[in-house]
Structure 1
Amino acid sequence: MAGIFQFFTSLLAKIAAFAQWLLAVVTRIFKDLWNMFTDVFCWAFDSILGMAAAALNAIDIPFNPSTYYAMIPPETANILGLIKLPQAISIIVAALVIRFILQTIPFVRWGS
C-alpha cells in the first residue's frame, strides 16, 4: 500500500514540477512579447523623431550670433563690455535653462 502512495506522490510532484515549468515558460513568453511590443512603439517614436530632425535640418536658417555681434560698432561693443552685458545675458540664459529643466520634472512646478 505504501508503494502506491509513493507512486502517486511522485506522480503529483512531477505534475506540479511540470506545471511550474509551464508557468515559468508562459511568464517568460509574456514578458518577451511585452518587451517586443513596447520596443515597436519606441522604434516608431524614434523613427518619427528622426524624420522630424531631418526635416528641421533641411531648413537652412543661417543664424550665427557672431556675425551680428561683428556688425556692432566698436564703441558700442566697448560700452556693452564695460556694463557687463554679455555676463548678464549669460546669467539670464542660465536661469531660463534651469527653469525649463525644473518644469520638465513632475511635481516640481516652482515659480509657475
Structure 2
Amino acid sequence: MLSWFAQTWEDAKMFMYSILLTFYEMFRDLLYWLMESFLDLTIVILNGLGSLFDGLDVSSYINSIPPSAAYFASASGLGQATGMIISALTIRFLLQLIPFVRLGS
C-alpha cells in the first residue's frame, strides 16, 4: 500500500512539474509573440517614413546658395570645419557605446 502511495505522489509531482513547465513555455511564447509584433509594427512604420523623405533633395538646396555666400563659405573653410565636427561627433557617439569609457560625458 505504501509503494502505491509513493508512486501516486511521484506521478502527481511530475504532473504538477509538467503543468509548471507548460505555463512557463506559454508565457515565453507570449513574450516572443509580443516582441515580434512590436518589431513588425516598427518595420511597417519605418517603411512608411521612407516615403516622407522622397521629396527632400539636398543637392537642390546646395545649388541654390548664392555665389557670394558659397565663395565666403569656401574661403573661410566651412566645409573642412563641418567635416571635422561631424567626425568628432561620430567618434564621441561611438565611444559612448563602449562600457566604462563614459568619462564624464
* Sequence identity (%): 20
Q: Cα–Cα, structure 1 residues 37 and 85, in superposed 2: closer, same or farther, change >3 Å?
A: closer
Structure 1 alignment gaps of length 5 or more: none
- 1:63 paired with 2:58, answer yes
Name the residue aligned to 1:92: 85
TM-score, structure 1 length as denominator? 0.61
Give a deviation string over 1:55-85, Cα, whole Å, max 9, x none: 222x1x33239x75xxx7xxx6xx85xx976
- 1:52 paired with 2:49, answer yes
Work out the CA distance in 1 between the residues paired with 2:49 and 2:78: 35
Name the residue aligned to 1:24: 21
The structure 1 segments of at least 4 consecutive aligned residues displaced by more than 3 Å after TM superposition are 83-89
Work out the CA distance in 1 between the residues paired with 2:89 and 2:14: 61
Work out the CA distance in 2 between the residues paired with 1:30 and 1:85: 57
Which amino acid letter does the alignment assign opposite residue 56 of structure 1?
A: F
Work out the CA distance in 2 between the residues paired with 1:85 and 1:53: 30
TM-score, structure 2 length as denominator? 0.65
Work out the CA distance in 2 between the residues paired with 1:84 and 1:54: 34
- 1:37 paired with 2:34, answer yes
Structure 1 counterpart SS, 2:58: coil
Q: Cα–Cα, structure 1 residues 50 and 88, in superposed 2: closer, same or farther, change >3 Å?
A: same
Structure 2 alignment gaps of length 5 or more: none
Work out the CA distance in 2 between the residues paired with 1:92 and 1:33: 46
Which amino acid letter does the alignment assign opposite residue 18 of structure 2?
A: W
Query: Which of these two proteins has the greater Rg computed from alpha carbons?
Result: 1
Work out the CA distance in 2 between the residues paired with 1:97 and 1:85: 18
